[in-house]
Amino acid sequence: MKKIKYIEIKNLLKENSLEIKSEISNEEIFLNIKTISNSSINDLSFFSNLKYLNDLKNIKAKACLIEDKYIEFLPKNCKPIIVKDPYLALALITNVFNEEIYKSNGVISKNSIVNSKSKIHNNVQINDFSLIHENTEIFENTYIGSNSNIGPNVVIKNNVVIHDNVSISNATIMDNCIIQSGARIGGTGFGFEMKTKQKIFHRGDVLIGKDTSIGSNTTIDRAVFDTTTIGEFSNIDNLVQIAHNVIIGNFAVIAAQVGIAGSTIIGKNVTIGGQAGISGHLIIGDNVTIAAKSGVTKNIVDNKIVAGFPAKDIKLWKKEIIKNSIKKWN
């Protein structure tokens, strides 16, 4: 079990410009970070949602990340760590407690196969039964799990983590990306001429921007021509389908079971809720939020929040829900 001193937490938050105030000793040790209801005497907890205000009275944690205005609800057995944004502080601190950090040990398993026409840089780990094809270049400090199939025509930059059972071809993965188990990147997409059903051969590739995470069993198809692109600092959940020639901007957050049809362009800082579907050849603006289970059939301008099928401004959608509910009860 990982032991974390309070001084480590304090320094981390200060490095990320989060003001912090507490009377806890720098040498105080925490064994874990847990929710209010599941915490124990050696844990750190957090309060960031008013739904759990009544639960605070029974908190058993040693300390709690909390806003100043709520410390009166905190019992004396739990010391406050006062921050303006407890949830952001929590997100940062979870990285300190994270024990599942995959760092390359520089060992290439004898049970893996590395093509002689590939190029492997320093300190790359390749685990059992993984296959590295020709015309593949893997840069420093990359970790590749077991049973993964990499290449052909792949570039993997520095400090990338690729978990077990991943397939990547015709793609470039930039620095510090994480590819979860079962992901499929760079395969041929779903495209054909409608009248004759003639299959369209895909000749393009995929680009995954730096510091991006791709979830388990997510598929990202290579472009017909040009490049299917996922922007930097994006988080793609499990079981997402991203079709050929899609372009997604930086800082995207896409939840599970979303489907994005071919050649749609999505701006930066877009959030897409689970099971939403987006038609092909659309333009989705910057800072757009698409609610879960929405069906997007038209372009969306910047800064919009949409919901429903067909997706519309969320205020209109809510009015329709209320109107239909009234009709139902009359």
Domains along the chain with CATH numbers: 4-97 (3.40.1390.10), 170-316 (2.160.10.10)
Strand partners, 114: 132
For the chain, the residue count is 330
Distance CA 63, CA 284 (A): 43
- The values of phi and psi at residue 6, to 5°, are -60, -35
pLDDT at 2: 78
To which residue do tokens 């410009």 refer?
17
pLDDT of 99 reads: 66
- Whether the per-residue pLDDT at 245 is higher than 70: the answer is yes
* Number of Cα atoms under 13 Å in the Cβ half of residue 181: 5
Whole-number pLDDT of residue 1: 64
Predicted local confidence at residue 102, as pLDDT: 86
Give tens-digit pLDDT for 61-101. 999 999 999 999 999 999 999 999 999 999 999 988 876 67
The alpha-helical segments, DSSP class H, found in the chain are 6-15, 86-97, 314-329
Which pLDDT score is estimated for 330? Answer: 66
In angstroms, the CA 125 to CA 106 distance is: 5
d(CA 208, CA 117): 23
| Phi, psi torsion values for 304, nearest 5 degrees | -90, 150
Catalytic residue among 133, 163, 202, 244: 244
The pLDDT score that the predictor gives to residue 128 is 98
Average pLDDT, the chain: 95
- Give yes or no for residue 211 having a pLDDT over 80: yes
Confidence of residue 282 (pLDDT cuts 50, 70, 90): very high
Q: What is the mean pLDDT of residues 266-289?
A: 98
Residue, of 195 and 160, whose pLDDT is higher: 160
Place of tokens 């659309």: 282
Any idea which residue has 């092909």 for tokens? 280
Mean pLDDT across 161-171? 98
Residue 100: predicted pLDDT: 67
Q: What pLDDT is stored for residue 200 in this prediction?
A: 84
- Buried/exposed code over 276-311 (b: 16+ C-beta within 10 A; e: otherwise): bbbbeebebbbebbbbeebbbeeebeeebbbbbeeb
Cross-strand bridge partners of residue 234: none
pLDDT at residue number 175: 98
SS3 of residue 318 by DSSP: helix
pLDDT value of residue 324: 82
DSSP per residue over 215-232, as a string?
-TT-EEEPPSSSEEEE-T
Segment 51-58 mean pLDDT: 93
Among 74-78, 96-100, 260-264, 265-269, the minimum mean pLDDT is found in: 96-100
Average pLDDT over residues 5-13: 94
**Mean pLDDT, range 135-153, rounded to an integer:** 97
Q: Is 121 in the active site?
A: no
The percent of residues above 90 in pLDDT, for the chain, comes to 88
* Whether pLDDT at 149 is above 90: yes
Residues 6+ apart with CB under 8 A from 267: 249, 284, 285, 286, 287, 288, 302
